[in-house]
Amino acid sequence: MFRKIRKIIGTTILVLFIIALVFVLFARISGTTPSLFGYSLLRVETGSMEPELKVGNILLVQKIEDPSTLKKGDVITYYGQETPVKGSLVTHQIYEEPREENGKYYFITKGLRNTLPDPEFDDSQLFGEVKYKIPLLGTLYDFFSKPFGLIAFAAVMLIAFSAELINLINIIRNKEEEVDHEVPVTAAEPVYKTDFEESIEQETNEIITDLEDGL
């Protein structure tokens, strides 16, 4: 029983891991930010948040519904508005307590390794809050994003699901064999005759009997 539970948990983790990796690779190829159910996967591209966040780390970022919940020390991602980060996503730590003015919230962030804080920005530039750093995924992402890595990834996928694929093929094959060996059983349909047909048949039988007796 324990072995079966462990196998189920291991398979589930493997499937989720592969889905996440495919998700990130697809986003890399298409040039979009992968997002699902309010969560996004982002890759750290610079060392401004080292040693907390290193280049290549994959982050799980949650969409921010209420900016008032953010506080000093939270790590957030926002859209840069000034050169050299204009139009890019920036992930830094909130440096000062956010301030509220006329219903809008304003933030000042700073990279852990940076000397100066970032320019202040409002909540319209928020992208999300960093919730988790996914270990190992970043390394695999770098590996599998290369041509050789893509080939290796395809091989891993084939090996991981080969047993299930073989079982599925066997099930389909067995079903086809069962259908081929089935012998259809049909019941004879009852034949209904009219009174006229019955009388003709009776008279014909009587004539045949009389002829046989005469002979």
- The 10s digit of each residue's pLDDT in 27-76 is 655 555 656 667 888 888 899 999 999 888 888 899 999 999 999 999 99
2 pLDDT band (50/70/90 cuts)? low
Residue 20 tokens, joined: 């996440």
Write down the pTM of the prediction: 0.55
User: Can you tell me the distance from the alpha carbon of 110 to that of 164, in angstroms, rounded to the nearest whole number?
Assistant: 49
98 contact partners, CB below 8 Å, separation of at least 6: 67, 68, 70, 71, 72, 105, 106, 107
Amino acid found at 49? M
Query: What three-state secondary structure class fits 15?
Result: helix
User: Can you tell me the distance from the alpha carbon of 78 to that of 89, in angstroms, rounded to the nearest whole number?
Assistant: 6
Name the average pLDDT for the chain: 76
> For 17-26, 41-50, 105-114, 133-142, which range has the lowest pLDDT when averaged over its residues?
17-26
Q: Which range is most confident: 17-26, 50-59, 188-197?
A: 50-59
